[in-house]
């Protein structure tokens, strides 16, 4: 499960993200899980109150090693050149510096990047002051090419990371893709990831982009325009969260507009 759409070429995480499904995954797998991030914070505070505040106070440091795309062992022949959008090392260093990263070039042509200190949670305007779980600890901790530690260099307890991953799974809903789906969601309030599946599958991402309704032939919003919810979910024990996906008809046969709605009572 990844925290939110984040690219090395983007300094700030986009507030809104748009997904478009051109080729849906096979019948098994390929869903996109979504998690209300404030629920992760609430549950982690319930189970690890002191550890959460310690990590918050010290901050996080992320380390990522990226090979060169010319290295045959590089996954899908992608490397730091794709991450930084350039094959020029000097330009990559400049872009890394602008993002607050330190870089260390490796003998094999790859690069090690270090980013920190970063916060564990964040509070964003317009979201009732809730602390959002805004980090990539689970995704980067203890991996072959990445790590997540406290900013002072000490390790994050293994049970802390493991339980966080379990909570994220427990709080997630699964979005099943259909051909032509256009999905809008609040990137500041939702974590999202991707379930594995066999090919073919092709989804396009528009981070922080404004998609004009006229461009995809959307029907004007009104009570009659909204179909039955595609998904309805009340996972929160205290019933403070109602989350569902609305399907909105389009004048284009190739587009299905879907919006994730989270009602915080």
> What pLDDT score was predicted for residue 18?
83
The pLDDT of residue 175 is above 50:
yes
The pLDDT of residue 5 is above 80:
no
Categorize the per-residue pLDDT at 239 as very low, low, confident or very high, splitting at 50, 70 and 90. Answer: very low
SS (H, E, C) the chain: CECCCCCCCCCCCCCEEEEEEEECCCCCCCCEEEEEHHHHHHHHHHHCHHHHHHHHHHCEEEEEEECCCCCCCCHHHCCHHHHHCCCCHHHHHHHHHHCCEEEEECCCCCEEEEEEEECCEEECCCCCCCEEECCCHHHHCCCCCEEEEECCCCCCCHHHHHHHHHHHHHHCEEECCCCCEEEEEECCCEEECCCCCCCCCEEEEEECCCCCHHHHCECCCCCCCCCCCCEEECCCCCCCEEEEEEEECECCCCCEEEEEEEEEC
What is the pTM for the complete model shown? 0.77
Categorize the per-residue pLDDT at 43 as very low, low, confident or very high, splitting at 50, 70 and 90. Answer: very high
Q: What is the pLDDT of residues 104-145, one digit of tens each?
A: 999 999 999 999 999 999 999 988 899 999 999 999 999 989
Q: What is the pLDDT of residues 192-218, one digit of tens each?
A: 888 887 776 655 555 544 333 333 333
pLDDT averaged over every residue in the chain: 76
Backbone angles phi, psi at 145, to 5 degrees: -115, 10
Task: Please measure the distance between the N-terminal and C-terminal CA atoms of the chain and give it in whole angstroms.
Answer: 26
Of 31-45, 107-121, 173-187, where does mean pLDDT reach its minimum?
173-187
Question: Mean of the pLDDT values across residues 240-246?
Answer: 44
What's the CATH code, domain 16-59+119-264?
3.60.130.10
> What pLDDT score was predicted for residue 17?
84
């Amino acid at each position: 499960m990844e925290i939110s759409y984040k690219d090395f070429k983007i300094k700030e995480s986009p507030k809104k993200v748009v997904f478009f499904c051109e080729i849906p995954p096979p019948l098994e797998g390929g869903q996109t899980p979504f998690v209300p991030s404030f629920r992760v914070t609430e549950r982690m505070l319930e189970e690890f109150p002191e550890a959460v505040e310690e990590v918050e106070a010290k901050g996080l440091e992320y380390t990522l090693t990226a090979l060169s795309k010319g290295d045959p062992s590089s996954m899908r022949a992608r490397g730091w050149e794709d991450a930084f959008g350039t094959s020029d090392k000097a330009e990559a260093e400049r872009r890394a510096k602008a993002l607050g990263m330190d870089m260390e070039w490796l003998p094999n042509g790859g690069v090690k990047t270090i980013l920190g200190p970063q916060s564990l949670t964040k509070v964003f305007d317009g979201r009732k002051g809730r602390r959002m779980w805004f980090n990539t600890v689970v995704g980067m901790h203890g991996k072959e090419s990445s790590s997540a530690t406290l900013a002072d260099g000490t390790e994050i307890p293994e049970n802390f990371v493991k339980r966080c991953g379990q909570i994220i799974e427990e709080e997630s809903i699964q979005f099943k893709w259909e051909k032509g789906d256009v999905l809008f969601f609040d990137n500041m309030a939702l974590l999202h990831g991707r379930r594995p599946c066999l090919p073919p599958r092709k989804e396009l991402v528009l981070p922080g982009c404004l998609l004009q309704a006229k461009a995809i032939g959307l029907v004007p919003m009104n009570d009659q325009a909204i179909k039955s919810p595609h998904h309805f979910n009340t996972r929160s024990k205290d019933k403070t969260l109602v989350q569902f996906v609305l399907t909105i008809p389009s004048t284009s046969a190739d587009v299905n507009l879907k919006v994730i709605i989270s009602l915080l009572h």
